[in-house]
Amino acid sequence: MRPISQQDILLALRETCAVQFFKEKQDTFVNIQCPVCDVDGNFIYFKYGFSHDKCQKCCTVWCNPRPTEASLVEYYATSESAKMWTSILVSTDTSRKQLQYQPRVDSLIATLKQDLSFIADKAVDLGAGSGAFALCLQNKDYFSEVIAIDFDEDCVNVCKQLQLKAMVGSVDQIEEGSANLITMNDMIEHLFDPKDFLERCYSSLANNGYISIACPNGEGFDFKLMGENTVNIVPPEHLNYFNPDSLSMLLVKAGFQIVAVETPGILDVEIVKREFKAGNLSLDNNMFLKTLMSHNDDAIRRQFQSFLQVTKQSSHMVVIAKKNL
């Protein structure tokens, strides 16, 4: 989706900004129990100074202690890394992003069509970014109305340029009981209180409404292999790393019924291969993976990626759930 050189610049800037933020704000951080099980976890690693725990019950990984919501809002508004990420987001070719999102939108709508009680009236994409996912939904002509909502005004303006109905804000912008579908892509990992947010989503949905969440899978292939060195561990931007089981548990606690769980990620093997080739990852203790990553046949690696998808071990997951009355 973006040149590797630009990604490397962003990663370096994220580290610089995160370390500085940690030094300035660590005394204001608050302790959090597992966002799913409400129990204490075990420390597993530091990243940029931020401590991370893992729940022994559901295997969720979370940043603990973590910045307050007010500090996070300030960070997103002022940090150079957040500004650069927004700049990349709004400048990335929307048509290329649509190629990524279209299969997921097609699958989601196919699932919704199987439910004869579902009414395809209003769909809301939260954290809409550049609007590519919302645009895919709108172009299907399935919903009467598609709304893109994002905290960032620049993102909302880009959405409006795509002729999307868009507004600044979050779930609180949705009238209670009015949405038939809420979608969230790479958003829940950023939230200070995911359970509270999902409960507000539940209230915003109409009867028989659905929610679709896409996010990193903290028990996925590159997470397990690389730990804190995986590029997706980026506090304070990412605070929560759920897995298919734990996110399902959290949704059920918020009142939802699980409909589908997938890990359709396509980049796990390429990420690991890139880090291995760059000398950033040793596979000397795993000759199977070392041989796989050294092999010249890309078709073999694609088959292994398919295996990760089918066995729900890819590091990107999608969970679809229905409002349970």
Per-residue pLDDT of the chain (325 residues; tens, 9 = 90+): 445 578 889 999 999 999 999 999 999 999 999 999 999 999 999 999 999 999 999 999 999 999 999 999 999 999 999 999 988 888 876 777 787 899 999 999 999 999 999 999 999 999 999 999 999 999 999 999 999 999 999 999 999 999 999 999 999 999 999 999 999 999 999 999 999 999 999 999 999 999 999 999 999 999 999 999 998 999 999 999 999 999 999 999 999 999 999 999 999 999 999 999 999 999 999 999 999 999 888 999 999 999 999 999 999 999 999 998 7
- Residue 8 pLDDT: 84
Give the separation between CA 69 and CA 179, rounded to whole angstroms. 26
Tell me, rounded to whole angstroms, the distance of Cα 53 from its chain centroid. 19
Q: What pLDDT was estimated at residue 4?
A: 55
Contact by Cβ (8 Å): 225, 308:
no
Mean pLDDT rounded to a whole number for the chain: 94
pLDDT tens digits, one per residue of 61-86: 999 999 999 999 999 999 999 999 98
Token pair listed for 136: 């895919």
The pTM assigned to this predicted structure is: 0.95
Q: Which H, E and C letters describe 262-299, residue by residue?
A: ECCCCCHHHHHHHHHHCCCCCCCCCHHHHHHHHCCCHH
Q: Scanning the structure block, which residue is given the tokens 């009142």? A: 255
Nearest to 48 by CA among 190, 191, 229: 229
CATH topology assigned to domain 4-323 = Rossmann fold (3.40.50)
Q: What is the pLDDT of residue 67?
A: 98
Phi and psi based region of residue 279 (left: phi greater than 0; alpha: psi -120 to 50; beta: remaining): left
DSSP H or E segment with residue 318: strand 316-323
Pairing of strands 316-323, 256-262: antiparallel
* Sequence ranges of the domains in the chain: 4-323
The reported pLDDT for the residue numbered 18 is 98
